[in-house]
Structure 1
């Protein structure tokens, strides 16, 4: 029984930050129709920025609780500084071109950002310890868990609800949904599609950076963290359905539980568990679990 509880808690914890990252990826695809290979690099930049911001707050003698504010500010800074530059300078000239070309552009951006992070932060690992100790330990049965993990789950729920509310209950969100359903019709109705693209890309980058910032206290931030994240994030959105927000949530939960089950019962299968689940889902649902219904072409 204790092992089952441990598997569930570890799987949900892993799924929580993965959902935040995958949510940004699926939002960018849903609006811009771009498979953003560089999404994992924005996650890494967010993690590095969080490490720097938390360290700076520490040198300024702020209370440890301010490290959470530092992580949020790091994600905002990455979105504000990086998103406009990447969207306007690199992606916008290629809108309307072949999808493969856009994938190559984002792959080139991934390679650039990998080198930029090494130039800015070096190759030595960074450790962010202050936020991880803020919430103490939580006793669940006979097991003790880090309270930060439960906070991360709560943040993922808040982020998911906030994105859903923003898309479905605000005017700007309705414009984004209009562009998702039909870019041409939205443009003919006077919607500034370029502005919507910029907004969606900025939010997507913020979510990737936020995921990196929140996981920085749980990992060693070092070169290469972006590669594994982008692979698993793609698995999540493929399982859930490209462009589907509910699919990102269900896909993250499936991947998190599958990985946790493999870690605790068959560690040698951890690397393959995600791909096995993805293959099984695609056998029965080639378009993913929550793929949007496509309009029939005549």
Structure 2
């Protein structure tokens, strides 16, 4: 029983992290049809920004340590918005409507550029921001199982972000306009929707979500060069399993991948490295568009 509980909770924690990483990627693709390979760099920039600011905050007596939890989303909002708007307005707006393969190549080049930029800004030494992680302590679950409260809190955060994204898309006027752009870009333009502004806002939101995932993860990891490249591969696997462009699909894909990996870690750790891609292979073999993906009509 305790082993089953450990698999379930570990899987939920890992799934919450995967969803945080994949949410921004699937939002950008769903609206702009851009598979943004630079999303991993947004994650890295958020992590580095948070680790730097949290390290500075705890390096001296600067008040209540719990204020550090506000620094994490603040870093993501500022860093993600600045980088996202700069990239969209400075480059991608000139490429709207281009072939999706070209956009993959362009954003992959951005990933490489931003990876080197983070090394120039923060260097190659690891950054640690463990204080917020340790500050919340641990909780005993079952017999002999203890989990960090920070990890458990990430589950709640990911659920709130998922519900917030659903509410914004389905219960607000801006969300309905965005869904119109997703459904048919040309008709939306004909009806007076400022599609370019929608694209800029969407890319900035996606960048902020990517940076938020990095900022919230920073207290639990060692922030080192290359984390953005590792993350984009996992995020891509999740959104492909769930269905490109679907928030619900990203959540379902994250849960499926998270629980599968947790099961492998506890039962067969030798296949842990392969289970994520095994799940992706099985899903795509049965349903090529992903669990919640829609088969789009081909325009001739």
What do residues 123-174 of structure 1 show as CA deviations (whole Å, max 9, x unaligned)? Answer: 0011111110232111111111111111110000111111111111111111
* 1:74–1:213 CA contact under 8 A, matched in 2: yes
What do residues 200-244 of structure 1 show as CA deviations (whole Å, max 9, x unaligned)? Answer: 111111111111111111111000111111111000010000011
Q: SS state of the match for residue 139, structure 2? A: strand
Aligned counterpart, 2:73: 72
Aligned counterpart, 2:97: 96
* 1:42–1:208 CA contact under 8 A, matched in 2: yes
Matches within 5 A, 1:110-121: 110-121=111-122
* 1:90–1:105 CA contact under 8 A, matched in 2: no
Taking structure 1 as reference, are residues 295 and 128 closer, same or farther at Cα in structure 2, changes over 3 Å only? same
Q: SS state of the match for residue 65, structure 1? A: helix
Taking structure 1 as reference, are residues 153 and 44 closer, same or farther at Cα in structure 2, changes over 3 Å only? same
Q: Which runs of 5+ in 1 are unaligned?
A: none
How far apart, CA to CA, are the structure 1 residues paired with 2:199 and 2:299?
25
* 2:139–2:149 CA contact under 8 A, matched in 1: yes
Taking structure 1 as reference, are residues 119 and 282 closer, same or farther at Cα in structure 2, changes over 3 Å only? same
Taking structure 1 as reference, are residues 106 and 60 closer, same or farther at Cα in structure 2, changes over 3 Å only? farther
Q: Which runs of 5+ in 2 are unaligned?
A: none
Aligned counterpart, 1:283: 285
Query: Which of 140, 145, 148 matches 1:146?
Result: 148
Matches within 5 A, 1:44-193: 44-58=44-58, 59=60, 61-142=62-143, 143-193=145-195
How far apart, CA to CA, are the structure 2 residues paired with 1:174 and 1:275?
35
Aligned counterpart, 2:3: 3
**Are 2:260 and 1:258 aligned?**
yes
How far apart, CA to CA, are the structure 2 residues paired with 1:296 and 1:269?
38
How far apart, CA to CA, are the structure 2 residues paired with 1:6 and 1:43?
28
How far apart, CA to CA, are the structure 2 residues paired with 1:55 and 1:128?
6
How far apart, CA to CA, are the structure 2 residues paired with 1:60 and 1:72?
21
How far apart, CA to CA, are the structure 2 residues paired with 1:72 and 1:134?
17
Aligned counterpart, 1:35: 35
Q: Structure 1 length as normaliser, TM-score?
A: 0.97
Aligned counterpart, 1:237: 239
Aligned residues between the structures: 298
Q: SS state of the match for residue 101, structure 1? A: helix
Q: Structure 2 length as normaliser, TM-score?
A: 0.96
Stretches of 4+ moved more than 4 A in 1?
Answer: 295-298
Q: Report deviation, 1:60.
A: 5.7
How far apart, CA to CA, are the structure 2 residues paired with 1:152 and 1:140?
17
